[in-house]
Amino acid sequence: MEGPGKVAFRRTYSSNSIKVRQVEVGPSSFLKVKMLGKGDVGKVYLVREKKTDKLFAMKVLSKKEMIERKKIKRALTEQEILATANHPFIVTLYHSFQSEGYLYFCMEYCMGGEFFRALQTRPGKCLPEEGSRFYAAEVVAALEYLHLMGFIYRDLKPENILLHQSGHIMLSDFDLAKQFGDPGIAPAMVHSEQNGVPLINTMACTSNFRTNSFVGTEEYIAPEVIAAQGHTAAVDWWTLGILIYEMIVRLFAVLFLSSSLQCCFCDLEFPPLLRISLSRHSFIYAPLNAAMEGPSFLPSIRSLRLHFTYCFLLIQVLGGF
């Protein structure tokens, strides 16, 4: 593994059990197979654990680069999310340790790779509507869980979605996530208007929190971020709408929006040459319109679920929950 130096401490997490255990594990416990990707402060490798022969994805972050680029807090936020998350659509962290110069995250290896690359291999570089609904439903479930944990994701895009060998998605890369409130407080409850079943009020979790950080990827940044109005978790639903549009139409939404800045001053319209059914129109615009109700408005997950009813049922049948 990359980075010489004595291991300062060894600690491992399991997102499946939400436990912290002291174990003897460090860079020398793994064999590097190949590099999977790299960023401005680190690299991700496919590694094989010597003891078990299992494959993992190892994220290696340079402490020097993180300090110089002022990204220590981002790394710690990502570590906290990975260490405490227990969800089928969020990547699992198995070990976290550090050496003198590097921080290591040993995570589940998703053999399908980036969702972005999978899209590029599809006919027309897009998906049928039902396929898009299925993946969007899983993203909705993951985002809802993150919000209930007390985090805004803020970086949803195909490159940050991984495909598990089971065919399901897993969200990754949480360095731009923002924590709000106290994650230890139990969420508020409401009752279903249809049958009175108690449900978690996802709106109450984030509606009173606002941040002014200008972060995200250009094509997916919500209008209120551009306008510096302060934003809430509603920005995640905006990026979901852009993602859905990209899955179905292939073109980046930015091609017809010109830029997210334009959305601050005009209504959204589909290009006249695109043949999109009314059902697709509603499907794509559900999260976009909800997020545009106002920077402080967080759409009810229950309303978004109406667009993914069949998909959520299918996910449950497949054992996703």
Residue 135 lies in a domain: yes
- Letter for the amino acid at 234? A
If asked whether residues 189 and 265 sit together in one domain, one would say yes
If asked whether residues 127 and 96 sit together in one domain, one would say no
Residue 122 lies in a domain: yes
CB 291 within 8 A of CB 256: no
**Residue of 53, 155, 175, 267 marked active site:** 155
Residue 4 lies in a domain: no
If asked whether residues 150 and 296 sit together in one domain, one would say yes
Residue 2 lies in a domain: no
Question: Of 85, 108, 131, at which residue does a domain stop?
Answer: 108
What's the average model confidence in pLDDT over 12-20?
48
CB 97 within 8 A of CB 89: no
- List, in order, residues 6 or more apart from 276 with CB less than 8 Å away: 248, 249, 270, 284
Residue 63 lies in a domain: yes
Find the CATH number of the domain harbouring 307.
1.10.510.10
| Beta strands, E only, 66-123 | 93-98, 102-108
Rg (CA), the chain: 20
Residue 27 lies in a domain: yes
- pLDDT tier, 10 (very low <50, low <70, confident <90, very high otherwise): very low
CA distances 102 to 8, 11, 21, 23, Å, are 10, 14, 21, 18
pLDDT score of 267:
52
If asked whether residues 262 and 198 sit together in one domain, one would say yes
If asked whether residues 124 and 82 sit together in one domain, one would say no
Q: Where in the sequence is the domain holding 104, given as residue range(s)? A: 9-108
Establish whether 267 is a catalytic residue.
no
How far out from the chain centre does Cα 180 lie? Answer: 16
pLDDT tens, 57-108? 999 999 999 999 999 999 999 999 999 999 999 999 999 999 999 999 999 9
pLDDT of 169 above 60: yes
pLDDT of 286 above 60: no
If asked whether residues 65 and 96 sit together in one domain, one would say yes
If asked whether residues 177 and 56 sit together in one domain, one would say no
pLDDT tens, 204-236? 444 554 454 545 566 677 666 666 666 677 788
Residue 3 lies in a domain: no
Angle between helices 234-249 and 278-292 (to 10 degrees): 160
Nearest to 87 by CA among 172, 188, 197: 172
Decide: pTM greater than 0.85: no
- pLDDT tier, 21 (very low <50, low <70, confident <90, very high otherwise): low
If asked whether residues 119 and 102 sit together in one domain, one would say no
pLDDT score of 264:
47
Q: How far apart are CA 150 and CA 128, in angstroms?
A: 33
pLDDT winner (highest mean) among 36-40, 247-251, 286-290: 36-40
Q: How far apart are CA 226 and CA 242, in angstroms?
A: 15
Residue 50 has, within 13 A of its CA and on its CB side, a CA count of: 10
pLDDT score of 245:
80
If asked whether residues 293 and 311 sit together in one domain, one would say yes
Backbone angles phi, psi at 128, to 5 degrees: -65, 160
If asked whether residues 304 and 245 sit together in one domain, one would say yes
If asked whether residues 137 and 253 sit together in one domain, one would say yes
Share of the chain above pLDDT 90, in %: 39
Q: What 3-state DSSP class applies to 3?
A: coil
Question: Of 92, 108, 124, at which residue does a domain stop?
Answer: 108
What's the average model confidence in pLDDT over 258-285?
47
Question: Of 108, 141, 163, at which residue does a domain stop?
Answer: 108
- pLDDT tier, 295 (very low <50, low <70, confident <90, very high otherwise): very low
Q: What 3-state DSSP class applies to 128?
A: coil
Domain count, the chain: 2
Residue 177 lies in a domain: yes
If asked whether residues 128 and 148 sit together in one domain, one would say yes
Find the CATH number of the domain harbouring 70.
3.30.200.20
